[in-house]
Structure 1
Amino acid sequence: MEQVIDYFENIDPILAAFYATLFTWGLTAAGAGLVFLFKNPKRALMDGMLGFTGGVMVAASFWSLLAPGIEMSEGEGFVKVIPAAVGFLLGAAFIFGLDKILPHLHINFKMDEAEGVKTPWHRTTLLVLAITLHNIPEGLAVGVLFGGVASGFEGATIGGAVALALGIGLQNFPEGFAVAVPMRRHGLSRRKSWMYGQASALVEPIAAVLGAWAVLTFEPILPYALAFAAGAMIFVVVEEVIPETQQDQYTDIATMGFIGGFIIMMTLDVGLG
């Protein structure tokens, strides 16, 4: 792991963010690849995986984004937390707006429960767009943190950025599986199910590059940008991930998956950051 951290310390931060999110995309593709082995996994497994995803995202939002953002803000008391509060609100509002505009369908929901602008698009497309919506703040978070490290801000470390990419990659593995399986179940071939599953994470490298570029170009926005990514991720967890795990009888399994994901992400961030 030290060699990985040393490598990322010595390359361009935008390139580092791009490579890190290629890794997270790769784990999404690997998770989607399980569709070649399974067609109808048990619902308990799916809910546990989604719970794990939510736990990682919540832990990353605080340990990797909000806490460093507050630490590097100037001032004391209430003044010190203003950038984090503003950025958090803007991030949540950004995903709220996309949620209302972008047509999408959550994994465990029926077709008539699709959200966003009404469209005749196929169920498959709507499922992919739902997971793509999840992945935008994840890629953005990785890019912003790598950009912060390069800008020399106290509280932003290369170890923390690597830990965030690793944690997001780990939760992308079950996420890729979770989007590929419903497509296979609804009649798509294994190959097409995998293609759609991995495609949902292609937005992450794009968001990461944009996030890193924005922070490097406008350095004072970093505390706001970190909190923005955190607000976007928390909105996704509360509005989308958690409800998807509460549609059946396996809510306890989903909850324990959430706890496990939170612990793993917290451990990674503190251990590496």
Structure 2
Amino acid sequence: MLDNIIHYFESINPILAALYATLFTWSITALGAAFVFFFKSYNKNIMDSMLGFTGGVMVAASIWSLLIPAIDMSEGERFTKVMPSVIGFLLGAGFLYAIDKIIPHLHIHFKKVEGVKTAWQKTTLMILAITLHNIPEGLAVGVLFGGVAAGIPEASIAGAVSLAVGIGLQNFPEGIAVSMPLRRMGMSRRKSFFYGQLSAIVEPIAGVLGALAVTFFNPLLPYALAFAAGAMLFVVVEEVIPEAQQNKNSDLSTLGFILGFIVMMSLDVALG
């Protein structure tokens, strides 16, 4: 089935393919958010395992799908070859750091509001927290498809599709992580679902913008790939892993992380 999907994406414009791929990742978030129609609450141990899985997928994607291709396509040798990735990585992490400090948001466990002080409701702040996670994910998929459109050999449709599949898998718990707490806070099921899926709508936007940017400026690709990797790893270290380790049974989230890493690594190597 994946082979058929890859062949289809090879037959269409890579920019359009970036849109379709990120719409897919958004739809998996919506699928997770739809759990609010069937369940009143979620098991914290299961959620921590799924968050750990999310972290594992994002770390593996950052390495195999983004950083390694970014280094491979850079010119020069030794430090010269790695510098575009170093610069892009630092810019990506710095960008998310700045957003994290500026935009007010609140995480699943409602411990503390981050960003500038605001009178916004907890529901709005939590939706913003998950939305911030999705910006680098959509960008990562988009820049890979943009590399294909630019004709760069190190960028492949198969690699971009495998990344989209991995991102989609880890988006499922993110949809649950938004909609279920909103329902528990008294919001209706329909509104909880609406805001749960809405948190990932930035992925198609970031994906298309990333693909267009790389298409029009080819030398940007290694920087853009590393930028997405830096942003994703910032999210993992600063937010995903700490949240997954909140409860006493942290072994489950650790095992989830390992499983997610293996799944994403296998997808990228097998398909990319």
Task: Give the TM-score category using the shorter length.
Answer: over 0.9
Q: How do 1:194-213 residues align onto structure 2 when only pairs under 5 Å count?
A: 194-213=193-212
Conserved 8 A contact 1:71-1:154: no
1:124-177 per-residue CA deviation (whole Å, 9 max, x = no partner) reads: 111100000000000000000000112121221110000000000010011101
1:19-62 per-residue CA deviation (whole Å, 9 max, x = no partner) reads: 00000000000011011111221110111111111110000000
Q: Does 1:130 align with 2:129?
A: yes
Distance 1:127 1:250 in 2: 24
Distance 2:16 2:102 in 1: 31
Conserved 8 A contact 2:15-2:149: no
Partner residue, 2:31? 30
Distance 1:139 1:246 in 2: 25
Partner residue, 2:90? 89
Q: TM-score, normalised by structure 1?
A: 0.98
Which letter does structure 2 place at the counterpart of 1:119? T
Partner residue, 1:47? 48
Conserved 8 A contact 2:134-2:202: yes
Residue identity (%):
70
Which letter does structure 2 place at the counterpart of 1:105? L
Which letter does structure 2 place at the counterpart of 1:64? S
Q: How do 1:1-273 residues align onto structure 2 when only pairs under 5 Å count?
A: 1-110=2-111, 113-273=112-272
Conserved 8 A contact 1:167-1:265: yes
Distance 1:187 1:45 in 2: 22
Q: Which runs of 4+ in 1 moved over 2 A?
A: none
Q: TM-score, normalised by structure 2?
A: 0.98
Structure 1 residues not aligned, in runs of 5+:
none
Which letter does structure 1 place at the counterpart of 2:93? A
Conserved 8 A contact 2:57-2:257: yes
Deviation at 1:228, TM superposition (A): 0.3
Which letter does structure 2 place at the counterpart of 1:257? G
Deviation at 1:225, TM superposition (A): 0.5
Which letter does structure 1 place at the counterpart of 2:168? G
Distance 2:44 2:8 in 1: 40
Conserved 8 A contact 1:109-1:244: no
Conserved 8 A contact 2:59-2:236: yes
1:58-91 per-residue CA deviation (whole Å, 9 max, x = no partner) reads: 0000010000000010011111100001100000
Distance 1:169 1:5 in 2: 16
Which letter does structure 2 place at the counterpart of 1:115? E
Tell which deviates more after alignment, 138-147 or 184-193.
184-193
Tell which deviates more after alignment, 83-92 or 242-251.
242-251
Count of residue pairs the alignment pairs up: 271
